[in-house]
Homo-oligomer: A and B are copies of this chain.
């Protein structure tokens, strides 16, 4: 909270998603990946275990859930706490950064769910 050495140089590094080489692209991809969105949404309701997330999120495989969680953890959006017990127990929760991220994706997700009927009307019905 006190005086920091280089507050400006840090502040100036805002990402630019339009630039192909900007690392923000990677963050975008993990936050907006199919399973990433659903994990963030699920963790909005509090801490969950691996298997709870798996049951809650219809259609995730264990492999994809595991990789999605690892990626979100690498970006500091979720916190992983593993208890060395048998059978294994691991708890996942949102970090403060993750709480903000989850608000955005959940807002979008909610909009999709609400507007789904209208969106589907624009789609040509398949033969």
Contact = CB atoms under 8 A, between A and B. Distances in A.
Query: What are the 10 tightest A-B residue pairs by CB atom distance, in nearest-first order?
Result: A76-B122, A20-B59, A15-B116, A32-B32, A20-B58, A104-B108, A15-B113, A13-B117, A19-B58, A24-B116
Given A20-B59, A34-B29, A122-B75, A14 B108 contact: no
Identical copies in the complex: 2
A64 interface: no
A32 B37 contact: yes
Given A76-B119, A97-B119, 20 more contacts: A10-B117, A11-B117, A14-B113, A16-B113, A17-B37, A17-B41, A18-B42, A18-B56, A18-B58, A19-B58, A20-B58, A20-B59, A22-B116, A27-B112, A27-B116, A75-B119, A77-B119, A97-B115, A97-B118, A100-B111
